[in-house]
Each structure stands twice: as C-alpha cells, then as structure tokens.
C-alpha cells in the first residue's frame, strides 16, 4: 500500500521503518523542523535511515522511504492511508495543513487520538475514514542522530473507527500494516479514555514534581514514581473513568489490566508484574515539568475526560484536582489555553449525552 507518515519524530520513524520493512511504500512528511530537524536532514541526504530492531533480536537494517519531504501536497496525495504521528496539540495545525489535498476514500489514523478526529472533521470536507489509537504499536527512540532504535512491541493493539459502521473494514486494512492491530474499541471515546498517558503520565509526573526538579535529568518515572500509595491513586481514578465508560456502553477495564493486555503475550501473568517489567525497560524522563507528560496529557487528556464527565453527570474530582494542581505548577506557562474539552470538539457550550453519542458514532 501507499502510506504517508506525517511526523518524523520517534514514533513516526519507528512505524515508517516497520511499514517499509513489511513491503509498503512510505512517504515521510516533516511538518516542523523544530524537533529532530538534524536527523531529518540526514535522512534526506542519505535517502533513508538505519534501524536497530530489538523486538527482532536486534536486527539492523536500512530503510528507504519512497518520498522524504516537507511538501504537504505531494505527501498527502501519495498516501491511501495517512498516519499522523504528532502531538495532539498539533492536530488542528495538521488538519488545516492537509485539508486542501485530502481526497475521498483516504484513511486518516491519529496516534494518539484523544478524539482528534472531530477536529479533523471540522476542516476536511471529504468522504474520509478515521481511526484513533490509544497508543503506538511499537516504542523506541532516535539515537544521537545515528539510527532509530525500536525497543518494545505491543502484542495487542486496539483501535477505534469513525464512523463506527466502517470499523471492520478499516481494521482489516490497518491489520495489513501492523499484524498486532486486530482489535476494536467501540468508538473514539473509549480509545481516548484508554490512552494510558492520560493516567500514568499525569499521575507519575505530578506526584514526582519535586523529585523531577531536584534530580536535574536523572529521573526514571516508571521505575521511581509508582509506589504503593501512587498506585492507589491510579486505582481510584479507574473507578471514576470506568463510570464514564459505562455511560457509553463500554465494559470496565482498569489501567493495569489494560496495560497487561497491550504489553504482554502471556495473559496469565499478574498485571503488576507486567507493569514492573515494562518499567524496568523504560526510558529515562521526564527531565522537567515542562514536558508533554503535563503540557499535553493534562489539558488534552484530563480536560477531555473531565468535560465528558460533567456533560453526563459523572464524578471526575480526581482528574479535576490534578488539572488544578498542574496549572498551578506550570503557572508561568499558559497550559489552560490548550484545553481540549468535549464542548470545544463539538462547538457547543452545553453538550448533552446524545450529542456525544451522535458525534462518536457518525
């Protein structure tokens, strides 16, 4: 298939490498040179990049994309599928950029989604299908402008589709891209609330704020932050999250059970054992409070969850408290202006339960 990867950071280049290695034709579109610009220049000069895939016994290989560009028109026209690997804060910018060139029949995949499909729909007046993922199929990092290192593979990857009626059709296409992508969530709201970053990034960072500042870059969140008392907060958050999910026809699923389901082949292993194993292989960070762990996942993830809860009469006071504390911690940064609420997504001051159901299924 012809596939365009929008966003040439860690996630974009990792998934592009796996797609090319599987025989697909991939165009890389860089939309900003502020981050990883040096590595992108190397890719353009060398017509590709080196990959070390530790999920495949450390296999090393070189991938050659079909197109490496900053030209939006040519990249968007190339792909039958457009994978969007940018921070959710950039969704509106990307939607505006690509909207003149999107054509009927394309599939736009948002990783992660946080219900961003509703933003893209505001700008794209085409018969387009959307898919939202709660997390990536693979994890890893760009290493010192030398190569892309793939470190972790999720055995199970669940997606949602908008409109819901096209779920099976889109799933069958995306399964040809990544073999672990063969599971469906009911709708984009379920995917959004199962985004692990909404809970683990925010709780782990917020309750480690002084440690992050004191350590000056020597903080390992997954290894350090999740002591028994912090795990208790996650469990209490789960109660409120599952109450909201139940309102929209979803089965309850706790954070650690969801993490085990995504991360571990053997589902008989204890969920906390799986989490600790994942923590042991995780990367260092965040190195400061001004990171996407708070600046993205609080105003986008927590604010979205809180606003949905308020719209349907569910208690979200744990998320509400974390939002307030984060805005106080980052008072020198206007994080609040980045909020993604259900009211913003639907363009309505007063949003009803029926409004949300119609939006996530249409």
Tell whether 7 and 96 lie within a shared domain: yes
Tell whether 14 and 99 lie within a shared domain: yes
Per-residue pLDDT reduced to its tens digit, 209-259: 999 999 999 999 999 999 999 999 999 999 999 999 999 999 999 999 999
C-alpha closest to that of 171 among 162, 181, 186: 181
Return the CATH number at 129.
3.40.50.720
Tell whether 183 and 249 lie within a shared domain: no
Place of tokens 């085409």: 126
> Domain range spanning residue 32?
2-193
Residue-wise DSSP of 267-322: TTS-HHHHHHHHHHTPPPB--SSSSHHHHTIIIIIIHHHHHHHHHHT---HHHHHH
- Which of 162, 193, 224 is the endpoint of a domain? 193
Of all helices (H) and strands (E), which one includes residue 42? Answer: helix 37-46
Give the single-character DSSP code of 249: T
Q: How far apart are CA 40 and CA 68, in angstroms?
A: 9
Residue 51: pLDDT band (50, 70, 90) is very high
8 A C-beta contact, residue 27 and residue 69: yes
C-alpha closest to that of 8 among 113, 96, 85: 85
pLDDT at residue 34, rounded to an integer? 67
Residue partners of 341: CB distance under 8 A and separation at least 6: 303, 304, 306, 307
pLDDT at residue 277, rounded to an integer? 87
pLDDT at residue 303 tops 80? yes
Tell whether 188 and 202 lie within a shared domain: no
Give the single-character DSSP code of 338: G
* Structural domain total, the chain: 2
345: left (phi over 0), alpha (psi -120 to 50) or beta: alpha
pLDDT at residue 134, rounded to an integer? 95
Per-residue pLDDT reduced to its tens digit, 136-192: 999 999 998 889 999 988 999 999 999 999 999 999 999 999 999 999 999 999 999
Residue 96: pLDDT band (50, 70, 90) is very high
pLDDT at residue 37, rounded to an integer? 78
Per-residue pLDDT reduced to its tens digit, 265-276: 999 999 999 999
Tell whether 152 and 203 lie within a shared domain: no
8 A C-beta contact, residue 151 and residue 54: yes
First to last CA, the chain: 27
What the block records as the tokens of 260 is 């085990």
Instruction: List Cα–Cα distances, 251 to 7, 177, 192, 234, 256, in angstroms.
Output: 33, 28, 14, 18, 15
- Which of 158, 193, 228 is the endpoint of a domain? 193
Q: How far apart are CA 20 and CA 291, in angstroms?
A: 31
| Percent of the chain whose pLDDT exceeds 90 | 92
Tell whether 203 and 97 lie within a shared domain: no
On average, the pLDDT of the chain sits at: 95
Tell whether 186 and 234 lie within a shared domain: no
- Which of 193, 219, 234 is the endpoint of a domain? 193
pLDDT at residue 143, rounded to an integer? 92
pLDDT at residue 13 tops 70? yes
| Percent of the chain whose pLDDT exceeds 70 | 99
**Could you tell me where the DSSP H helices lie in 140-215?**
167-177, 188-193, 197-206, 209-215
Tell whether 144 and 215 lie within a shared domain: no
C-alpha closest to that of 207 among 295, 322, 126, 99: 322
pLDDT at residue 36 tops 80? no
pLDDT at residue 282, rounded to an integer? 81
pLDDT at residue 35, rounded to an integer? 64
Tell whether 37 and 114 lie within a shared domain: yes
Tell whether 95 and 163 lie within a shared domain: yes
Tell whether 308 and 233 lie within a shared domain: yes
What the block records as the tokens of 289 is 């409070």
Residue 326, exposed/middle/buried by CB under 10 A (0-12, 13-18, 19+)?
buried
Sheet holding 49-53, edge to edge: 59-63, 49-53, 147-153, 138-143
C-alpha closest to that of 198 among 335, 343, 318, 86: 318
Return the CATH number at 250.
1.10.1040.10
Predicted model pTM:
0.95
pLDDT at residue 57, rounded to an integer? 86
Tell whether 83 and 31 lie within a shared domain: yes
């Amino acid at each position: 298939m012809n596939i365009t990867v929008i966003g040439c950071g860690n996630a974009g280049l990792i998934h592009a490498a796996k797609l090319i290695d599987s025989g697909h034709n991939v165009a890389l579109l860089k939309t900003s040179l502020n981050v990883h610009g040096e590595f992108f220049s190397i890719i353009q000069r060398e017509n590709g990049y080196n990959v070390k895939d530790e999920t495949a016994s450390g296999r090393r290989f070189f991938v050659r994309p079909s197109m490496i560009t900053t030209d939006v028109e040519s990249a968007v026209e190339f792909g039958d599928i457009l994978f969007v690997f940018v921070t959710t804060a950039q969704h509106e910018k990307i939607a505006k950029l690509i909207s003149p060139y999107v054509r009927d029949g394309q599939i736009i995949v948002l990783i992660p989604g946080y219900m961003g499909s509703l933003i893209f729909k505001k700008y794209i007046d085409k018969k387009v299908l959307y898919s939202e993922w709660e997390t990536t199929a693979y994890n890893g990092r760009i290493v010192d402008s030398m190569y892309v290192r793939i470190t972790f593979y999720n055995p199970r990857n669940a997606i949602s589709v908008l409109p819901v009626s096209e779920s099976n059709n889109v799933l069958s296409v995306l399964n040809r891209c990544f073999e672990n992508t063969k599971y469906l969530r009911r709708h984009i709201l379920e995917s959004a609330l199962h985004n692990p970053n909404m809970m683990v990034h925010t709780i782990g960072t917020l309750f480690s704020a002084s440690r992050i500042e004191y350590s000056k870059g020597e903080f390992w969140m997954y290894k350090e932050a999740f002591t028994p008392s912090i795990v208790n907060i996650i469990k209490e958050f789960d109660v409120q999250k599952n109450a909201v999910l139940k309102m929209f026809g979803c089965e309850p699923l706790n954070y650690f059970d969801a993490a085990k389901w995504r991360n571990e082949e053997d589902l008989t292993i204890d969920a906390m054992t799986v989490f600790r194993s994942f923590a042991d292989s995780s990367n260092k960070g965040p190195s400061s409070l001004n990171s996407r762990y708070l600046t993205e996942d609080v105003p986008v993830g927590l604010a979205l969850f809180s606003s949905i809860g308020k719209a349907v009469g569910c208690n979200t006071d744990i998320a509400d408290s974390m939002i307030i504390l984060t805005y106080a911690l980052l008072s020198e940064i206007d994080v609040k202006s980045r909020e993604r609420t259900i009211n913003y997504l639907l363009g309505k001051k007063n949003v009803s339960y029926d409004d949300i159901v119609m939006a996530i299924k249409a």
